[in-house]
């Protein structure tokens, strides 16, 4: 199969099922920060820079609930769709557009580069 | 059925449209075309199946015995004849020659086309396990499969269905109705996870089990075995399930081989534009075989839209296909399941959840910016289409929002109803609490009798004490009667529930609940999957209530417990191997030194807990580090867990001139007996050899101070921000009694303390006298606590590190992909 990522815009990173439900995996970007890819209880996939806006906690290691992730370091809740801190906290982490195609997770190449830079 | 199609009527100058695929989309496209312009094209349909056009969706009712094949025919032979369509059935197309504008069938017939429509549908995905080709292993896609299943069911025996999605469950249902013993294997933790959220998936599983099916979730197939025909399925965890028939229903893949061989642009499906035209302008494609805008489809609704756009384009009035939301229903009699749209929360999305535990109903509507974006209904799907309609039209639901979840009748009828007024209007004998049969009159009498809070009402008359679904009404009654004088009750577990920790624990045991979704359903959680406070607590309560039975939910654990190491501020981890009672030896020290060098650990330090902590280990390196430590005989120190941490000891009678007993030896024995246990909070033990107390036993959760005449047992101490010295629980004469009391105390703490409550605050809350009354007067009761602790330890004392080294949860330590911006991905 011609992988979508060679076509340019989208990076094919694997099957949706490789991310645990209510869990997360990372994508390493050479020379940049990791991208955290999340799968919610409702089977939606989101990607954020793996860096909490507070003190750079690895969001990929947090607890995913509803449409948010709780940062493992100081429990800020970060929206998976906008990267914004929820509740009283203020801050935002870059998001990376994701697409699902036939069970494959595709990350936006430009977004990935921008976020990880 | 006609079979001699190539004779063209002389002089028929119309363009020849050849359709490959006599299935649902291909024939529907032709219907749409005929409705627009019946005479425009000369039409030939070539189909692989030896049948007329039938409704594939209805194969499930045919299998279940609710319908016959004749009932599900969409277009019989008459339709082909009436519309002068030539049908070549039972003869698949094997090649397309785009240059010559011809197709060739398996029997060797060649047809010339002006326009070609590919509608080849999907191929069932066959998981590549050994034994997949054995006779008796089939998929569920066409009438032929159904006939195979019916024949197998006629012989009786056992069937294994691999795949707990829509298709698999419908197959399982049919086979079970036909008298087979059915086991469904689903690799994910919840059934139909693509369509249903966890709560609805759990309800479905429970209902299917009640009907006699065996449902194994998290079941990973290793092999299908048999001598000449299928005999059993082996799972990766070693389970063996006998099977006379195996149905694989794990998914479908667009059928694209033909198109790809012809050089047409293919991604996951045959790529088409908004008018269903492929990369070759003379060739169209429609149905499950296509990929449109990166999407492929597996339900008919979007295919019907595609057929309309295709027909519009074919008659020169292009309209363009626009994908829209889809909805799903499970076709299993008596089980009502519906889902539509996007039910993932996300930003600005709010969930409206209604759970009625006694009637087995779960409804969830997701609203974003005053518009419905998704819905999941279980048990009562009557309003599914109404929600779906509001969703597709993007109707503003701000006005009916409060009543939305009660359905169309309620919301559009008394839409402006004020809940308080509605409660006030109820008669005194109206039943408020269905679980405990409490009427409004009784609730009011209870309030008038002095119950001033929700909790007092629950204690007084039981209303809202079981499932909590009437909590809102009880609160309205309190407000009605007492106005502002309503007292706030004790704290609820978190904002997801109206129950406190103790209520939840009590109900888990009383109602024999077995999973997190079950608790959330039965106790009316107001969020679909809880939050980072309640999930870990529920996971612990279930683990404690069901030793050996409950399967730990990794996603409900805080990172340290999930990774079995302590996360550091830079995202690396620290690793602390267990050193029993603070003792070590050259072999362990050497292994630690080697790990420090091999993995370039920036620091290694003696902890306050009498062992060594290796810092700065990368997530990816953890399994390798553990493997090396395991090899030297060391196991996880659980320095990260709400669990037993360390047992500190002092030198004791063996060496120390003041020592009265063998404190070191006793510490080691106690640590061997208690390690691995999960607790409400961390738990530390120490054994000092004399009252000088060098092991600081009197600021530990359980501390032993040895004296000449025996052992003083202390409980409820900790260091930390608020230092608390222990209380003396009792004094015993022998090591054995000390060990028994320790086990009993830990179990009492495990069963009664709230999650994240350490022994010190727990004892301050319940009082030392309470603990003593449980553990001291009755040796039988004490022994029972100790027995329960030791029973649960059977399942807890396997080293989590060893399991990871052996490959468990491998994905937690490896990135999903690596990306090198300069070139392609590794
Ligand atoms: C490593 C260690 C410090 C050291 O280098 O000596 C340590 C390190 C941490 N302690 Fe501790 N404590 C360590 C011994 C202690 C001790 C001494 C002892 O156990 O005798 C105490 C006082 C005794 C006690 O627990 O009552 C101690 C009282 C705490 C507390 C306060 C507990 C309390 O109930 O008030 C916390 C905070 C908490 O758990 O919420 C804490 C939390 C922490 C955490 C887990 C903070 C965190 O959440 O990240 C630190 C983890 C660092 C890491 O990644 O390894 N640590 N901590 C010690 C590990 C012992 C071991 O071998 O497992
Ligand atoms: C048991 C079952 C239950 C389902 N339930 C539902 C449901 O409840 N709701 C829902 O929306 N959808 C349901 N579906 C899915 C639905 O049936 C499909 O989405 C739909 O049939 C797809 O239509 P299609 O024309 O693309 O493919 P098909 O209907 O599969 O038609 C493709 C046809 O092309 C033929 N073909 C393939 N290759 C060739 C070739 N080389 N030459 C000639 N012919 C060829 C095939 O034999 C087949 O007859 C169900 C499917 C199954 C199997
Ligand atoms: S005392 Fe504070 S800084 Fe030191 S290890 Fe414990 S928690 Fe961390
Ligand atoms: S770094 Fe994420 S909450 Fe502090």
Give the model confidence (pLDDT) of B650-660 as tens digits: 999 989 999 99
Which residues lie with the beta carbon below 6 Å from any ligand 4 atom?
A 52, 54-57, 71, 73-76
Q: Report CB contact under 8 Å: B815, A27.
A: yes
Over 80: is that where the pLDDT of B415 sits?
no
Chain B interface mutation, best of A65, A84, A89, highest count of B Cβ atoms under 10 Å: A65
Work out the average pLDDT over A107-111.
89
Q: Do A101 and B294 touch (CB under 8 A)?
A: yes
pLDDT grade, residue B340 (50/70/90)?
Answer: confident
Considering only CB atoms, which chain B residues are within 8 Å of A29? Answer: 818-819, 821
CB of residue B149 inside a 6 A radius of ligand 2 = no
Contact A41 B197 (CB under 8 A): yes
For A66-83, what is the mean pLDDT? 92
User: Per-residue pLDDT averaged across B713-742, rounded?
Assistant: 95
Residue with tokens 């559009």: B412
**pLDDT at site B343:** 65
Is the complex ipTM higher than 0.90? no
Is the model's pLDDT at B511 over the cut of 80? yes
Binding-face residues of A in 45-64 toward B, CB within 8 A: 46, 55-58, 61-64
The conformation of residue B551, written as its DSSP 8-state character, comes to -
Contact B555 A63 (CB under 8 A): yes
Pocket test for ligand 4, best of A36, A49, A52 (most atoms within 8 A of CB): A52
B814 or B577, higher pLDDT: B577
Judge contact between B537 and B544, C-beta under 8 A.
Answer: no
Distance CA A7, CA B93 (A): 30
Round to whole Å and give the CA distance between B218 and B760: 39
Least confident of B114-118, B300-304, B546-550: B300-304
DSSP strand pairing (A104-108 vs B15-20): unpaired
pLDDT digits (tens, 9 = 90+) for B419-462: 566 677 777 877 777 667 788 899 999 999 888 888 888 888 88
Spatial distance between the Cα atoms of B247 and B228, rounded to a whole number of angstroms: 17
Q: Quick check: CB of B141 below 6 Å from ligand 2?
A: yes
Judge whether B759 and B683 are in contact, CB under 8 Å. yes
Above 50 in pLDDT, residue B414?
no
Residues with Cβ within 8 Å of B485's Cβ and at least 6 positions away in sequence, in order, are: B452
pLDDT at B382 over 80: no
pLDDT at B712 over 90: yes
Query: Where are the alpha helices (H) located in B555-621, listed in sequence order?
Result: 559-563, 586-598
Q: How far is the CA of A70 from the centre of ligand 4 (A)?
A: 9
Q: Identify the weakest region by mean pLDDT among B158-162, B221-225, B350-354, B692-696.
A: B350-354
Q: What is the pLDDT of residues B722-731, one digit of tens each?
A: 899 999 999 9
The helix/strand count (H/E) of chain B reads as 26, 39
Examine the pLDDT at B662 and tell me if it is beyond 60.
yes
Running DSSP on this structure, what letter comes out for residue B332? Answer: B
β pairing state of A10-15 and A63-65: unpaired
Has residue B18 got a pLDDT over 90? yes
Are the C-beta atoms of residues B197 and B220 closer than 8 Å to each other?
Answer: no
Mean pLDDT of chain B, nearest integer: 89
Do residues B462 and B436 lie in contact, with contact meaning Cβ atoms separated by under 8 Å? yes
Query: Would the CB atoms of A42 and B345 count as touching at under 8 Å?
Result: yes
Residue nearest to atom 24 of ligand 1 (CA): B719
User: What is the rounded distance in angstroms from the CA atom of residue B281 to the CA atom of residue A66?
Assistant: 45
Taking residues B669-681, report their average pLDDT: 96
Check whether B267 has a pLDDT greater than 60: yes
Is residue A47 a contact partner of residue A36, using CB atoms and an 8 Å limit?
yes
Q: What is the pLDDT of residue A7?
A: 47
pTM value surpassing 0.80: no
**Confidence class for position B480, pLDDT limits 50, 70, 90:** confident
- Name every residue whose Cβ is closer than 8 Å to that of residue B500 and which is 6 or more positions away in sequence: B455, B489, B490, B491, B492, B493
Phi, psi for B161 (deg, rounded to 5) = -105, 120
Task: Tell me the per-residue pLDDT of B285-327, one tens digit each, with 9 for 90 and over.
Answer: 999 999 999 888 888 888 988 999 999 999 999 999 988 777 7
Q: Which of B376-385, B401-410, B566-575 has the highest mean pLDDT?
A: B566-575
B21: nearest Cα among B267, B259, B346, B361: B259
pLDDT at B409: 65
CB atoms under 10 Å from CB of B209, counted, come to 12
Q: What are phi and psi of B614, to 5 degrees?
A: -100, 125
Query: How remote is the C-alpha of B130 from its chain's centroid?
Result: 27
pLDDT(A54) > 50: yes
Q: Is B139 in the pocket of ligand 2 (CB under 6 A)?
A: no
Tokens of B806: 């052996």
Residue B813 C-alpha to ligand 4 middle, in angstroms? 21
Q: How many Å from the N-terminal Cα to the C-terminal Cα in chain B?
A: 53
Beta bridge partners of A15: A104
- Cα separation, B439 vs B458, in Å, equals 13
CA distance B616 to B600: 8
Query: Do A81 and B190 count as a contact with CB atoms less than 8 A apart?
Result: no
Is ligand 2 within 6 A of the CB of residue B302?
no
Residue B416 predicted with pLDDT over 90 = no
Confidence at B1, pLDDT banded by 50, 70, 90: very low
Mean pLDDT, to the nearest integer, of B464-485?
80
Distance from CA of B198 to the nearest CA of A (A): 7
Closest partner residue to B569 among A29, A46, A55, by Cβ? A55
Q: CB distance B267–A4 less than 8 Å?
A: yes
pLDDT at residue number B346? 60
Using CB atoms, pick whichever of A21, A56, A67 lies closest to residue B346. Answer: A67
Query: Higher confidence at residue B338 or residue B260?
Result: B260
What does the pLDDT look like over B119-157, one tens digit per residue? Answer: 999 999 999 999 999 999 999 999 999 999 999 999 989
Q: Bin B394: left if φ > 0, else alpha if -120 < ψ < 50, else beta.
A: left
Mean pLDDT of A21-43: 92
- CA–centroid distance, residue B754 to ligand 1 (Å): 20
pLDDT above 70 covers a percentage of chain B that reads: 95
């Amino acid at each position: 199969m011609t992988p979508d990522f060679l076509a340019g815009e989208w990076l094919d990173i694997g099957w949706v099922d490789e991310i645990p439900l209510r869990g997360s995996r990372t994508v390493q970007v050479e020379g940049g920060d990791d991208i955290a890819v999340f799968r919610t209880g409702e089977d939606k996939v989101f990607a954020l820079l793996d860096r909490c806006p507070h003190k750079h906690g690895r969001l990929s290691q947090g607890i995913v609930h509803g449409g948010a992730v709780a940062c493992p370091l100081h429990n800020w809740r970060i929206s998976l769709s906008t990267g914004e801190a929820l509740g009283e906290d203020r801050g935002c982490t870059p998001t990376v557009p994701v697409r699902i195609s036939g069970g494959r997770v595709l990350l936006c190449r430009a977004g990935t580069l921008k976020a990880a830079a | 059925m006609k079979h001699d199609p190539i004779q063209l009527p002389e002089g028929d100058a119309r363009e020849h449209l050849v359709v490959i695929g006599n299935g649902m989309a291909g024939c529907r496209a032709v219907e749409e075309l005929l409705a627009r312009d019946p005479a425009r094209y000369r039409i030939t349909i070539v189909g692989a199946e030896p049948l007329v056009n039938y409704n594939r969706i209805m194969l499930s009712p045919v299998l279940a015995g609710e319908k016959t094949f004749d009932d599900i025919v969409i277009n019989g032979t008459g339709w082909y004849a009436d519309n002068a369509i030539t049908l070549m059935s039972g003869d698949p197309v094997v090649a397309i020659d785009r240059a010559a504008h011809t197709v060739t069938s398996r029997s060797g017939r060649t047809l010339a086309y002006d326009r070609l429509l590919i509608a080849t549908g999907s191929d069932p995905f066959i998981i590549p396990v050994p034994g997949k080709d054995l006779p008796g292993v089939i998929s569920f896609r066409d009438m032929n499969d159904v006939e195979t299943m019916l024949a197998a069911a006629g012989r009786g025996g056992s069937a294994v269905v691999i795949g707990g999605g829509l298709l698999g469950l419908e197959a399982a249902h049919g086979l079970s109705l036909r008298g087979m013993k059915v086991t469904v294997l689903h690799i994910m933790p919840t059934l139909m996870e693509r369509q249903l959220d966890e709560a609805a998936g759990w309800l479905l599983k429970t209902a299917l089990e009640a009907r006699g099916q065996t449902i194994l979730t998290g079941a990973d197939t290793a092999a299908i075995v048999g001598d000449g025909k299928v005999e059993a399925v082996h799972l990766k965890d070693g389970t063996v399930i006998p099977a006379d028939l195996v149905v694989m229903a794990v998914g479908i893949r667009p059928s694209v081989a033909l198109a790809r061989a012809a050089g047409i642009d293919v991604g996951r499906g045959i790529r088409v534009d908004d008018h269903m035209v492929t990369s070759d302008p003379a060739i169209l494609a429609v149905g499950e075989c296509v990929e449109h805008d990166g999407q492929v489809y597996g339900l008919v609704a979007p295919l019907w839209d595609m057929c309309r756009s295709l027909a519009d384009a074919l008659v020169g009035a292009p309209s363009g296909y626009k994908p829209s939301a889809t909805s799903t229903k499970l076709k299993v009699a008596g089980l009502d399941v519906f889902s539509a749209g996007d039910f993932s929360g996300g930003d600005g999305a709010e969930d409206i959840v209604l759970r009625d535990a006694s009637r087995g109903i779960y409804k969830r509507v997701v609203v974003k910016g005053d518009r419905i974006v998704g819905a999941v209904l279980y048990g009562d799907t009557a309003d599914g289409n109404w929600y779906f309609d509001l969703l597709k039209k993007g109707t503003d639901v701000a006005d009916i929002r409060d009543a939305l979840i009660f359905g169309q009748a309620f919301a559009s009828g008394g839409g402006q109803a004020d809940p308080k007024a509605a409660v006030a209007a109820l008669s005194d004998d109206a039943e408020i609490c269905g679980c405990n049969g409490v009427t409004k009159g009784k609730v009011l009498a209870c309030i008038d009798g002095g119950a001033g809070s929700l909790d007092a009402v629950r204690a007084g008359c039981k209303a809202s004490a079981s499932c909590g679904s009437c909590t809102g009404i009880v609160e309205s009654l309190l407000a009605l009667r007492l106005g502002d004088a309503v007292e706030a009750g004790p704290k609820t577990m978190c904002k997801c529930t109206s129950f406190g920790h103790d209520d939840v624990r009590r109900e888990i045991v009383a109602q024999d609940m077995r999973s997190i979704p079950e608790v959330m359903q039965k106790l009316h959680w107001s969020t679909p999957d809880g939050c980072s406070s309640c999930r870990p607590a529920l996971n612990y309560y279930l683990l404690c209530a069901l030793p050996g039975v409950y399967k730990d939910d990794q996603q409900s654990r805080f990172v340290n417990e999930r990774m079995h190491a302590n996360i550091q501020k830079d995202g690396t981890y620290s690793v602390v191997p267990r050193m029993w009672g603070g003792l070590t030896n050259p072999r362990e020290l050497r292994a630690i030194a080697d790990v420090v060098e091999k993995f370039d650990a920036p620091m290694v330090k003696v902890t306050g807990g009498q062992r060594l902590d290796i810092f700065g280990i990368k997530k990816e390196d953890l399994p390798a580090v553990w493997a090396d430590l395991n090899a030297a005989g060391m196991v996880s120190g659980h320095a990260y867990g709400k669990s037993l941490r360390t047992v500190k000891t002092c030198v004791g009678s063996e060496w120390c001139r003041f020592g009265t007993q063998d404190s070191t030896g006793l510490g080691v024995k106690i640590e061997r007996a208690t390690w691995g246990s999960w607790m409400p909070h961390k738990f530390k033990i120490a054994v000092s050899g004399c009252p000088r107390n060098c092991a600081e036993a009197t600021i530990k959760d359980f501390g032993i101070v040895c004296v000449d005449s025996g052992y003083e047992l202390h409980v409820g101490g900790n260091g930390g921000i608020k230092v608390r010295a222990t209380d003396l629980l009792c004094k015993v004469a022998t090591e054995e009694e000390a060990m028994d009391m320790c086990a009993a105390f830990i179990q009492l703490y495990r069963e009664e303390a709230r999650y994240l409550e350490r022994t010190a605050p727990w004892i301050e809350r319940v009082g030392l006298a309470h603990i003593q009354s449980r553990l001291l007067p009755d040796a039988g009761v004490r022994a029972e606590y100790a027995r329960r602790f030791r029973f649960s330890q059977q399942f807890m004392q396997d080293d989590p590190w060893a399991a990871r080294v052996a490959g468990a949860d491998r994905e937690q330590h490896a990135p999903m992909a690596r990306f090198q911006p300069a070139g392609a991905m590794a």
